[in-house]
Amino acid sequence: MRVGVVQFPGSCDERDAALALATIGAEPVLLWHGEADLRGVEAAVLPGGFSYGDYLRCGAIARFAPVMGALREFAGRGGPVLGICNGFQVLCEAGLLPGALTRNANLRFVHREQHVRVEASGFWTGGCRPGDVLRIPVKHGEGRYVHDDPDALADAGQVLARYCDASGELTPAANPNGSIGNIAGVTDAAGNVAGLMPHPEHAVDALLGSTDGQRLLGAVLPGRSTRGLSAPLRLA
């Protein structure tokens, strides 16, 4: 599986994402933000970092990059797209995901190991079941998720994961940024586009403390890529 990893000016995790994908057996392909050619990839990852220096708002400038037009078309055909941290912010700014990411409630950058509870079935949770608890690090200053109607989002099956404690309980202490409903990630209505504030690419090696990120990134591998989608992939 060829998986594109987008490079924006200011991205800092694209090589981490590429290494993580290679570790699980995928073929990472770096995609430059200024080009609209996705080079035949079968899935795409928008990595963490500080695209365009986070000027205006996180992701507000990156949404206009030529690669985003190609990604919009790709996603519209059912192509799997995952935005991690800054990539999540970019997808929200581009209107490919609902809601927005704002300043952390404590107005401080947070960097810590974090438990998240899988909430819904979709492309990117093909290696998990609802209720599974994963340990994946977070590192962000603007990760507080907001949405006008989070209950409706949950009812539609679009809440991908929530911040929790080690036992899976949704507590205020387990919420690193004040996100509404402890929401850590969401999907679009079809389930093939997802955004996640925690960094699964930093949780693929036991030396880093967790391999739980493999269960999310591993969705791109053959045999794990269709569970939970509302419609079959259309990559033509």
The pLDDT assigned to 225 comes to 45
Read off the amino acid at residue 178: G
- Active-site option among 33, 42, 58, 85: 85
Decide if 92 is catalytic: no
Q: Is 202 tagged catalytic? A: no
Supply the Cα-derived Rg of the chain in whole angstroms: 16
Does 201 participate in catalysis according to the annotation? yes
As averages over each run of 10 residues, the pLDDT of the chain (236 residues) reads 95 95 96 96 96 85 95 97 97 97 96 96 90 97 97 97 98 98 97 97 93 95 53 32
5 to each of 45, 93, 101, 129, 180, how far by Cα in Å?
Answer: 5, 18, 21, 26, 29
Catalytic residue among 33, 119, 201, 202: 201
User: For the whole model, what pTM was predicted?
Assistant: 0.92
Going by C-alpha positions, the residue among 67, 222, 91 that lies closest to residue 160 is 91
- Per CATH, the homologous superfamily of domain 2-220 is Class I glutamine amidotransferase (GATase) domain (3.40.50.880)
Residue boundaries of the structural domains of the chain: 2-220
Q: Are 203 and 209 in contact (CB under 8 A)?
A: yes
Cα torsion 218, 43, 20, 161: sign: negative
Compute the C-alpha angle 167/128/211, nearest 5°: 75
Are residues 135 and 113 in contact, defined by beta-carbon separation less than 8 angstroms?
yes
Return the pLDDT at 151.
97
CA-based torsion, 119, 191, 102, 128: positive or negative:
positive
